[in-house]
Amino acid sequence: MDATVMKALTMMLIALPTMFFVIAVFIAATKLLHKTFPGSQEDE
Amino acid sequence: MESLFLQYPWLDELLMGFIGLSWKNIVMWGISAVLIYLAVKKDYEPALLLPIGFGALLANIPHSSAISQVVGEEGFLWVLYKAGISNELFPVLIFIAIGAMCDFTPLIRRPSVMLFAAAAQFGIFATAVFATMLGFSFEQAASIGIIGAADGPTTIYVASRFAQDLLGPLSVAAYSYMSLVPVIQPPVIKAITTKAERRIKMGYENEEPVSKTTLFLFPVMVVIISGIVAPISVALIGSLMFGNLLRVCGVVDNLSNCAQNELANLVTLLLGITIGGTMSAESFLTSQVAMIMLLGAIAFVFDTAGGVLFAKILNLFSKKKINPMIGACGISAFPMSGRVIAKMALKEDPSNFIIQHAIGVNVAGQVASVVAGGLVLALIPALAK
């Protein structure tokens, strides 16, 4: 396979799992934030 | 003719526009007319397509002073290009404006929707692979893939760094396809979902209010996490979240309003006409540009399919079923994608209101597309070595 295609495939293989990992961290941190500072009806 | 010009030197000056005119310029006038038509008559992203269309017209008049690069006689479009595109200033300013417009409340209330947004970035990477197969260099292919982020400023930001020669066509493709979301997404969704799936209802139970402190800390948290993962993305994500901070802090409403209105309008105007100014016939009428247009469509199709299929996979393991259509809102075309999918759900079942879920995923798409852009920015130099 062409080296350029390999680079693009490598980018996909690295970026997609990293993306999901970062998003998972975002989700955990957002949940923690939401739990630590619960909102009231007034905030809405 | 030559002797005539020698005898009457002023004649050359007077006729240079006619003499320099070629069929390519006229074709570009046609393209410019199409962009202006789409903006004015069809209301497709008019704030961008109108300036881009007119900028393209200015760039395709032979010997146009608007794009002159002669030292001391620089055209205003060239000056704007150097001042705002080549140094990535305009996309960053646009991100401040977008951040000020974003309400992350639905995302904070249901953070798991960010997973759909991550899945919907699949088109970026799949398209980059296709682009390399079509003969583009790795840097160009990655920049083409970014069209799949459905995010104009990110596309411009990445292209201005790694594929400056393709900046015009990449921007046009990104903004054109963003405006064509209502045309592209529904058939793709229908092709990969059943009617029963499209009619799945999603409730709004256990939705707690979001505190002002959470809204305030959220942008700071996003900047720190994504900045640590990909420091190169800090300019993009940082400006987006700075805009959002202006909105939620509650003490600088004037700055927030300025970012949402004056800044957004002014930079959009300058960005559009400057991008149009890069669309000279020599750089635009090439087979590469035709391929970029095709790849842009492929990117949007893959994004939509990626988000929807991911939701379908989650449904296999989840007791609480998700309407898989909301996976398609994970692209950054906000709020158009969310509205299109909510409308589709209502069409399938007039009592199915999924607008809040769809908008939540769509807002997550804003964040995910910038994270994806940051990863691409980080990986291009690392893999290109």
Say if B175 falls within a structural domain. Answer: yes
| pLDDT tens-place string over residues B317-338 | 988 889 999 999 999 888 889 9
| CB proximity list for B300: less than 8 A, separation 6 or greater | B123, B147, B148, B150, B177, B180, B181, B184, B185, B331
Q: How many helices (H) and strands (E) does chain A have?
A: 1, 0
Residue B173: half-sphere exposure toward Cβ, Cα within 13 Å:
30
CB B314 within 8 Å of CB B326? no
Residue whose entry in the numeric block shows the structure tokens 């006619």: B18
**Torsion angle defined by CA atoms of residues B10, B16, B17 and B19, in that order, rounded to the nearest 10 degrees:** 130
Task: For residue B205, name the pLDDT band (cuts at 50, 70, 90).
Answer: low
Q: What average pLDDT does range B70-90 have in this prediction?
A: 91
pLDDT for res B23? 94
CB A37 within 8 Å of CB B213? yes
Task: For residue B151, name the pLDDT band (cuts at 50, 70, 90).
Answer: confident
The tokens for B50 are 């109108």
Q: Is the pLDDT of residue B26 over 90?
A: yes
| A5/B contact by beta carbon, under 8 A | yes
| A43/B contact by beta carbon, under 8 A | yes
Task: For residue B136, name the pLDDT band (cuts at 50, 70, 90).
Answer: very high
Say if B97 falls within a structural domain. Answer: yes
Question: In this complex, how many residue pairs, one in chain A and one in chain B, have their CB atoms less than 8 Å apart?
Answer: 121
Q: Is the pLDDT of residue B219 over 90?
A: yes
Q: Is the pLDDT of residue B206 over 70?
A: no
Fill in the DSSP letter of residue B149: G
Task: For residue B291, name the pLDDT band (cuts at 50, 70, 90).
Answer: very high
The span from the first CA to the last CA of chain A, in angstroms, equals: 55
Decide if B372 and A19 are in contact by the 8 Å CB cutoff. yes
pLDDT for res B242? 97
Mean pLDDT of chain B: 91
| Closest residue, chain A, to B372 (C-alpha) | A19
* Predicted ipTM of the assembly: 0.91
CA–CA dist B316, B311 (Å, integer): 9
Number of domains in chain B: 1
What is the least distance, in Å, from the CA of A40 to any CA of chain B?
6
CA–CA dist B160, B148 (Å, integer): 16
Fill in the DSSP letter of residue B297: H
Q: Is the pLDDT of residue B86 over 90?
A: no
Residue whose entry in the numeric block shows the structure tokens 């842009």: B296
Q: Is the pLDDT of residue B57 over 70?
A: yes
Q: Is the pLDDT of residue B20 over 90?
A: no
What is the least distance, in Å, from the CA of A1 to any CA of chain B?
10
Task: For residue B366, name the pLDDT band (cuts at 50, 70, 90).
Answer: confident
pLDDT for res A44? 59
- In chain B, DSSP assigns E strands to none
Task: For residue B74, name the pLDDT band (cuts at 50, 70, 90).
Answer: very high
CA–CA dist B141, A8 (Å, integer): 8
Top pLDDT among A17 and A40 is at: A17
pLDDT for res A43? 65
Which of A13, A16, A25, A42 to mutate against chain B (most B CBs within 10 Å)?
A: A16
Say if B39 falls within a structural domain. Answer: no
Task: For residue B229, name the pLDDT band (cuts at 50, 70, 90).
Answer: confident
Chain B residues close to A23, C-beta within 8 Å:
114-115, 117-118, 368, 371
**Torsion angle defined by CA atoms of residues B150, B156, B160 and B162, in that order, rounded to the nearest 10 degrees:** 0
Which of B225, B303, B313, B366 to mutate against chain A (most A CBs within 10 Å)?
A: B225
| CB proximity list for B123: less than 8 A, separation 6 or greater | B145, B148, B298, B299, B300, B301, B302, B303, B304, B305, B306, B331
Q: Which of B118, B221, B383 sits opposite A7 (nearest CB)?
A: B383
Which of B221, B240, B377 to mutate against chain A (most A CBs within 10 Å)?
A: B221
Chain A residues close to B381, C-beta within 8 Å:
none
Say if B70 falls within a structural domain. Answer: no
- Count Cβ atoms below 10 Å from residue B273 Cβ, excluding itself: 23
Mean pLDDT of chain A: 90
| pLDDT tens-place string over residues B103-123 | 999 889 889 889 999 999 999
pLDDT for res B188? 96
Say if B68 falls within a structural domain. Answer: no
| A10/B contact by beta carbon, under 8 A | yes
* Ramachandran bin of A38, using left for φ above 0, alpha for ψ from -120 to 50, beta for the remaining angles: beta
Q: What average pLDDT does range A24-30 have in this prediction?
A: 94
User: Structural domain of residue B93, as residue ranges?
Assistant: 87-384
| ω into B106 cis (within 30 of 0) | no
Q: Is the pLDDT of residue B18 over 90?
A: no
Say if B34 falls within a structural domain. Answer: no
Q: Is the pLDDT of residue B233 over 90?
A: no
pLDDT for res B220? 96
Q: Which of A8, A26, A39 sits opposite B225 (nearest CB)?
A: A26
| pLDDT tens-place string over residues B173-195 | 888 888 788 889 999 999 999 99
Say if B227 falls within a structural domain. Answer: yes
Q: Is the pLDDT of residue B207 over 80?
A: no
Angle subtended at Cα B63 by Cα B57 and Cα B66, rounded to the nearest 5 degrees = 55
Say if B256 falls within a structural domain. Answer: yes
Q: Is the pLDDT of residue B284 over 80?
A: yes
Choose the weakest-confidence range: B70-74, B202-206, B257-261: B202-206
Helix (H, G, I), strand (E, B), or coil: what is residue A38?
Answer: strand
